Structures are given as C-alpha cells and as structure tokens.
Amino acid sequence: MNNLLLTPIEYLKGVGPSRGELLRKELGIHKYKDLINFYPNRYIDRTRYYKINELQNNVAEVQIIGKIINVKTVEFGKGRKRLVATFVDDTGQMELVWFQGHKWVRESLKINEVSVIFGKCTSFNGIYNMSHPEIELLSEHEQSLRSAMQPVYPSTETLTNRGISNRTINKIMQQLFLETHTLFTETLPDYLITELKLISKKDALINIHFPKSTEALAKAKFRLVFEELFFIQLQLITKNLVQKHKIKGHPFTKVGENFNDFYQNHLPFQLTGAQKRVIKEIRTDMGTNAQMNRLLQGDVGSGKTIVAFMSMLLALDNGFQACLMAPTEILANQHFIGLSELANELNINIKILTGSSKTAARRIIHEELENGTLQILIGTHALLEDKVKFQNLGLAVIDEQHRFGVEQRSKLWKKNEIPPHVLVMTATPIPRTLAMSLYGDLDISVIDELPPGRKPIQTVHRFDSNRLKVWKFIRDEIALGRQIYIVYPLIQESAKMDFKDLMDGHESISRDFPLPQYSISILHGKMKPADKDAEMKRFSEGKTNIMVATTVIEVGVNVPNASVMIIESAERFGLSQLHQLRGRVGRGADQSYCILMTSHKLSSDSKTRMETMVSTNDGFEIAEVDLKLRGPGNLMGTQQSGVLNLQIADIVRDREILALARNHASKILKEDAPLQKPEHASLRAVYIELTKKKNIWNYIS
C-alpha cells in the first residue's frame, strides 16, 4: 500500500491534533486509508424542499425555506437555558432550538431574511421543532453547488457536541480525495471485473463519497459490497481448506465415567430429542482427528447449556480440561452457579474467573489450571488473559458469541499447540443457508425444539397512553407472587440520553410502586460488576419485585419466577433483540407475558416488528421477517444485526451478492489456492495485507 495512505489522520489539512484525536477515539479512524473506507450511512436528496405543514415526526433530515421572525431565551430547570427561534413559511410555523453555543448562535442568526434550514424534526405539544439546524441564506444556498445525493456519515454524540458535523466530515473527505485519489489501486483481477461488469475501485470510492448520480452510487455500492464479501469468503474458504487438512484436533475417543454417570444418574430432566441429536453430533465430531469448529444454534430457552456441559464432560473423560466463556459477568456467574450444582455431584473441580476475581482466588486458579487439577473453568474475557494457561485445554465453549469483540477466538486458539475443539453457542437465529456462507464451512448444529411443558409467552403491544392499565396488570401479577422486568433501550449513539430515560423511568416506577409494599432493583452498564451482581442476586432470590434495567439483561439471564417482560420504547429495538429480551421470561411454570410499549407514532417497519412479535414466538420465523424488513436501503444495517462487523455489506440484504462472492472465491481457490498466478497478484497483495493485521475470526465477533 502506498505510504501516503498510511499517514496519521491528524496530518490531513483541516484535521489537526485535537480533531485527529476525536476521529480516532470516536470513529476508529487512525490513518488516511481509514477515512477513505469510512462510508456514508445514507444519502439525502437535497433537491427536495419541505413545507412546514408537510412535516412528520422523525422523518429523516428535511430542508425548509422560510424566515426566522424572532429569537428568545427560554429557561428550563435550574438555570439551564435554551435558545428558541420561531421559523415560518407560507404554510405554518415551527421552532428552532439550541441547547448550546447560545451567544455565538444568536449573533449569527439573520431575522426576517429568507433562509434554508436543514435538520431533523420532532413535534412537541403539537409544534414542530428542529434542534441545532444548519442554516443558510437562500441566496448563499443557491450558489453552493450540491450534488443531489448528499452523503451522511455515521456520527456520535461526542462528535456532534465537539462541533464535528457532517459538513466537517464532508469537507475533510474532499481534502483527502484531492490529495490521494490518484493512488487508489485496483484490488480485483481484470477478468473478474469484466465478467461481473464491475466499476473500478477508484470510481467506486469516489462515487460512494461523492455520488454523481443514483446510478453511479448503486454501481459503487455493488462493487464495494462485492469486494468486501469476496475477500471475507476468500479468507474463510482458505482457512477451512487449511483446517480440514492440517489442523489436528484431540480425538476424544472415550465416553467415560463422567459422561455416563451424569447421563444415568444426575440428569435433572429428560433431554429433548433435539438435545440428544446435537450431543451426538458433537460427540462424533470431537471423536475424529480434526479440530471441531461447531456453531450451536438454538432459540432462547432451548437448553443449550446442558449440551455444553455434557460436551465438557466428554473432554474430561478424555483427560482434558474445558472452559466456558460468557459475554458478561452476570451470565458467567449464572452459568457457574448452575453448572457447579451439576459438577459437584460428579466431584468435578469447577471454578470461575472474571474481572472481579480476587488476587488470591486467581492465584489458585492459575496454579490449578497449570497442574491440571482444575477441570472446568467458567468465565468472561478474563479467560483470555496471558496469565491464564491451561495444562491441556480440550474444549472451549463460547456462549452468545456475537457479544465478543475482536480477536478473542483466535486468542483462545493460541493457548495450546493443538487447538481445543470449539463450540460456539448462539441464540441469534440465522437461516441455515446464510449461516453456511457466513461462517464458511463451520459445522452447524441446531436445537429446534423447546423443552416440554412450556407455556408460550403471550405478547401484546400497548401505547404509552395505556400505561395505567399496564401498571394495574403489574400489580396483579406481583400480588400473585411473580416478578417483573422493565427494560429501557440502550443505544450507543446517545448513551447519555438513554441513561436519563432509564433514570427517569426508575424514578417514576419507584413513585408508582412505593416501598414498603414494593421493592425495585436497577441494573445498567454504568454500575460496578459487584453492584450489578448484588442487584441481580436480590432479584433472582425474589427479594425485589421489579427489575428496571437496560439491555444488560438481554443475554442469558435466568429467573424462572419472572413472568412479565415490559419493553419500553420497543420501537427502538430490532426484532432479534426484542425476541432475545422476551426470552428472559417464560422460563418457569407460570403463564408469562411480554408487553411492548411504544409511542403512537410508528413507522411502518416498527409496526411490522410489533405485529410480528405479537403473532409469533418462533425465532426462525422472526429471523425471516427481520431478513425481509432489513431489505434494501439500509447501508450500514449490519451494525445492528450484531452478527458481522462489516464496513458496507449487509449479509442479510446482500445475501445474493454474498453467494456470488462465495462462488467466485471458491472457484479461484480451486484453481489457484496459493494465489500465485500473475493475474492474481492484486488478490494476493490484499490477502496478505488482511491476514497480517486481522484474523478471520474477527469477522465473527
């Protein structure tokens, strides 16, 4: 790669040290090339002007022509002020609002001059308002040249507050392209470009950032999506070729004492048919000389844990250690408590290691791991620390893998010369064909049957205005001895606001459900692990009636007595997340309920999501709807899907391009696996670049 593209971002004209620092921290943009690969979220049609009487809540940004007729400062709360301007056109009036930078804003506002405002509208008490709009005089606006498709880049609260607007990013992007566009080189072989009628890499980059037309943008997207998926497939398939031929695994040939004793004497319930089948698949796989890499899919509550435990017993029976890694401390603890009960019956030495393990306990764990007396270790990311050395790790189970960050699987991998078998458990239901291409040739087991006797969860959708009735329902359930979850959204871009929502919610719930009759737990990401555990414990022991929480509780938490899940602002959650949350109830013998609370204004997608949740409990069916909903027009959709960390492709929306990319990657590798033919020189260069800094498992994060 040309050196100029590796220049640290602060050296770009218009960036400098302090903006450079922000770009690094907030967006992970370190070098010129990172900014080049920082693609817009979406594009706005700036040829369209709205009238005030056409406004709707929360439509994307709009631009309106009109005049500011007055400006005033309004106090709200203790000494806090905002600046409010009245803006009118020939159809009505609205408000422009600023929470910050008042003096400067006030001085720059031009009263009674025809201006163009641009921003997002919301309505409050029947009046539309736009906060922190971009404003230009109409005369200036008409002079500035704009392409019809104006890119909008992903941003964060901090960036906006620190004055790095979309316009700023646009400007530095222009500067960057001015300096570097001659250096963009082609990455795909000529014959592939011809065959698939792709545009060049250079044209694609230019048009993704500065689209000349919708057609040019579509071609640019296609080219970049194809390329991204193609190189992932190239790596996955290569990895699998190597793995199948060279990576030896520990053959677990014995089914021994632990497994048999447990199966015959200590099973807490009868296994479902699906559980039995999957255990058999795992057993067979671990019995060969090759390393197992298996994905275990099963809806929430389908009973993956016992399958993991019995797989670990097989490792022990063959003289190996096993570990289970969970994404959160709460979950690790819960696994530890549950599995200790089973393990103790078999006299198995099982321990837990998390970020909050004490030094003394750690020392014992390190020692016992190395001398082999510790048989099963449960934990969080802490398991990946360098100090944690197993004597002979035979099986690593990873629960809910989509919560793990980068490089983690490969780290576990490095701990032994012969890698352990790996079992990844996920409740994110991905249609099988998609999973195949996504995980390469990773083997897949599916638990497609719930344990018997579960009453299906009843789901309803209620508007905020029905809250009194919902509260009455909660009181009735509590009177029956049940417990309640109330969950608030937590979305990264506005962590602060979400935190406020949660705290406000907690306050009003505390008022409506006062002590001593009711007691309430609270759980959120800002709490210390010890406090989280304490709250979780209080709730799971039945000492509190209501658990107010953010999505921290989404993954795996198991309190069978909790029978009601209330999801606040449910329209802000994706389908798979809603389904995960709902899975927290319905674990005991009682009838359980899920109540989706939303405002009245819902987009048609949100409506479909609510209807889907109300009409089905089947994770795979929900995944199919999700797949349809997240169809075209969601450029960065993958970020929300939580499955792959992709730059531009969306494995759901782009599944046809994925299949295309996979076919071509596979064909090329069949003919020229080492990529040594001259026409594959560019492929090899990119491939080496990718493998140098990234492990393919990064993609499955």
Instruction: Decide if 556 contacts 399 (C-beta within 8 A).
Output: yes
- Residue closer to ligand ADP (CB basis): 64 or 322: 322
Q: How far is the CB of 576 from ligand ADP (least distance, A)?
A: 14
Nearest to ligand ADP by Cβ — which residue? 303
597 binding partner (options Mg ion, ligand ADP, none; Cβ < 5 to 8 Å by kind) = none
Nearest to 255 by CA among 345, 316, 305: 316
In whole angstroms, the minimum distance from the beta carbon of 304 to ligand ADP comes to 3
Binding segment (CB under 5 A) for Mg ion, from list 385-393, 519-527, 549-557, 563-571: 549-557
Q: Which tokens sit at 652?
A: 């759901």
Assigned token pair, 174: 């222009």
Applying the rule CB under 5 A, the residues between 115 and 174 that interact with Mg ion are none
Task: Verify binding: residue 298, Mg ion, rule CB under 5 A.
Answer: no
Site stretch for Mg ion (CB under 5 A), options 313-321, 432-440, 548-556, 561-569: 548-556
Got the DSSP string for 642-666?
A: TSB--SS--TTTTHHHHHHHHHHHH
Q: Which does 271 bind (CB under 5 to 8 A by kind): Mg ion, ligand ADP, none?
A: ligand ADP
**DSSP per residue over 276-291, as a string?**
HHHHHHHHHHHTSSBP
Nearest-angstrom CA–CA distance, 23 and 173: 13
Shortest distance (Å) from residue 330 CB to ligand ADP: 13
Number of residues that bind Mg ion (CB under 5 A): 1
Taking the mean position of all CA atoms in its chain, how far away is CA 410?
A: 20
Minimum CB distance to ligand ADP smaller for 293 or for 297: 297
Minimum gap (Å) between residue 413 Cβ and Mg ion: 23
Q: Based on CB atoms, which residue is closest to ligand ADP, 87 or 262?
A: 262
Locate 442 and state its tokens: 């990773």
Question: Nearest distance from residue 499's CB to ligand ADP, in Å?
Answer: 28
State the binding partner of 395 from Mg ion, ligand ADP, none, CB within 5 to 8 A by kind. Answer: none
556 counts as binding Mg ion under rule CB under 5 A? yes
Q: Is there a contact between 32 and 7 (Cβ–Cβ < 8 Å)? A: yes
587 binds, among ligand ADP, Mg ion, none (CB under 5 to 8 A by kind): ligand ADP
Smallest distance, Mg ion to C-beta of residue 76, A: 45
Judged by beta carbon, residue 335 or residue 409, the one nearer Mg ion is 335
Q: Which tokens is 78 given?
A: 């203790």
Query: Interacting stretch for Mg ion, rule CB under 5 A, among 18-26, 344-352, 383-391, 550-558?
Result: 550-558
Least distance (Å) between residue 540 CB and Mg ion: 15
State the nearest-atom distance from the C-beta of 587 to ligand ADP, in Å. Answer: 6
Query: Which parts of this chain interact with ligand ADP (CB under 6 A)?
Result: 269-272, 275, 298, 300-306, 427, 451, 558, 587
> Could you tell me the maximum CA-CA distance found in the chain, to the nearest angstrom?
86
Cis check for the bond before 419: say yes or no (omega within 30 of 0): no
558 binds, among Mg ion, ligand ADP, none (CB under 5 to 8 A by kind): ligand ADP
- Output the smallest distance, CB 643 to ligand ADP, in A: 18
Residue 260 β-bridge partners: none
Q: Residue 88: which residues within 8 A CB-CB, separation 6 or more?
A: 52, 66, 67, 69, 94
> What does the buried/exposed string (b/e) look like for 608-636 if buried means 16 or more CB atoms within 10 Å of the residue's CB?
bbbebbeebbebeebbbbbbebbeeebbb
The binder of 298, among Mg ion, ligand ADP, none, by C-beta within 5 to 8 A per type, is ligand ADP
| DSSP designation for 11 | G
Residue from 218, 196, 66 nearest 133 by CA: 66
| Subset of 640-659 contacting Mg ion (CB under 5 A) | none
**How many CB atoms within 10 Å of residue 547?**
25
Q: Which is nearer to ligand ADP, 329 or 571 (CB)?
A: 329
In a 13 Å sphere around the CA of 248, the CA atoms on its Cβ side amount to: 5
The site string for Mg ion over 355-384 (x = CB under 5 A, - otherwise) reads: ------------------------------
User: Judged by CB, which is closer to ligand ADP: 346, or 669?
Assistant: 346
Q: Which residue has the tokens 């019809």?
A: 148
**Residue 39 vs 485, nearer CB to Mg ion:** 485
Closest CB 401 distance from ligand ADP, rounded Å: 13
CB of 592 to ligand ADP, least distance (A): 13
**Residue 189 vs 586, nearer CB to ligand ADP:** 586
Pick between residue 15 and residue 622 the one whose CB is nearest to Mg ion: 622
Q: Where are the beta strands (DSSP E) in 381-534?
A: 393-399, 421-426, 443-447, 458-463, 483-487, 520-523
Measured CA to CA, the distance from residue 212 to residue 689 in angstroms comes to: 31
Cα separation, 655 vs 643, in Å, equals 14
3 state SS of 97: strand
User: Strand locations in 174-257, DSSP E?
Assistant: none
Residue 11, phi then psi, degrees to nearest 5 = -80, -10
* Cβ proximity to Mg ion, 135 vs 581, nearer residue: 581
| Contact between 303 and Mg ion per CB under 5 A | no
Q: How far is the CB of 655 from ligand ADP (least distance, A)?
A: 26
Q: Whole-number minimum distance, CB 257 to ligand ADP, in Å?
A: 23
The region of 271-279, 475-483, 553-561, 659-667 touching Mg ion under the rule CB under 5 A is: 553-561
Query: What is the spatial distance between Cα 409 and Cα 80, in angstroms, rounded to a whole number?
Result: 48
Helix (H) or strand (E) holding 367: helix 359-371
φ and ψ at residue 172, rounded to 5 degrees: -70, -30
Cα three-residue angle 694-698-242, rounded to 5 degrees: 75
Cβ–Cβ under 8 Å, residues 617 and 578: no
Q: Which is nearer to ligand ADP, 449 or 493 (CB)?
A: 449
Q: Which is nearer to ligand ADP, 25 or 276 (CB)?
A: 276
Judged by CB, which is closer to Mg ion: 133, or 556?
556
Neighbours of 400 (CB within 10 A): 21
Residue whose token pair is 């608030």:
488
The distance of closest approach from Cβ of residue 542 to ligand ADP in the complex, given in angstroms and rounded to an integer, is 16
Q: Which does 328 bind (CB under 5 to 8 A by kind): ligand ADP, Mg ion, none?
A: none
Of 365 and 397, which CB lies nearer to Mg ion in the complex structure?
397
Judged by the rule CB under 5 A, the positions of this chain that interact with Mg ion are: 556
